[in-house]
């Protein structure tokens, strides 16, 4: 049975700036995934949403990221075998999302 994982990351950038940061930061995310033996195998932007797939431990985990005015929502369905990693995944996505969406200091 798959385990749904929902992650919400708040930001103060506005939808367009957050979207731009996430699109521009996808290469950094790809590099970080490679360091932990994971690979971004699917990436399809449609407006303010990204459908993605990440290969890990012989499984492909698919999810969706939606950019809103003050939030980024990430929904992932983990195969039951990977469900034990749900909390680590959630913390890692939140941390990387906050780094990408951090408002520049003035």
Q: Is the pLDDT of residue 35 over 80?
A: no
Tell me, yes or no, whether 61 lies in a domain: yes
Domain for residue 106, yes or no?
no
Question: Has residue 76 been placed in a domain?
Answer: yes
Tell me the pLDDT band of 81, cut-offs 50, 70 and 90.
Answer: confident
CATH code for position 62: 3.30.310
pLDDT for 62-78, tens place per residue? Answer: 999 999 999 999 999 88
Distances (CA, A) of 101 to 62, 78, 83, 88: 22, 25, 27, 20
Is 105 a residue whose pLDDT tops 60? Answer: no
State how many domains the chain has.
1
- Is 38 within a domain? yes
In a domain, 73, yes or no: yes
Q: What domain range is 73 assigned to?
A: 3-101
- Does position 9 have pLDDT exceeding 90, yes or no? yes
Domain membership flag for residue 79: yes
Confidence of residue 104 (pLDDT cuts 50, 70, 90): low
């Amino acid at each position: 049975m798959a385990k749904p994982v929902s992650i919400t990351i708040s930001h103060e950038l506005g939808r367009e700036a957050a979207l731009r940061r996430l699109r521009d930061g996808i290469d950094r995310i790809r590099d970080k995934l490679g360091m932990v033996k994971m690979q971004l195998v699917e990436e399809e932007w449609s407006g303010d949403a990204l459908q993605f797939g990440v290969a890990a431990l012989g499984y492909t985990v698919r999810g969706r990221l939606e950019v809103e005015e003050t939030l980024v929502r990430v929904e992932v369905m983990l195969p039951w075998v990977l469900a034990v990693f749900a909390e680590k995944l959630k913390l890692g996505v939140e941390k990387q999302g906050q780094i990408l969406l951090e408002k520049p200091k003035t």
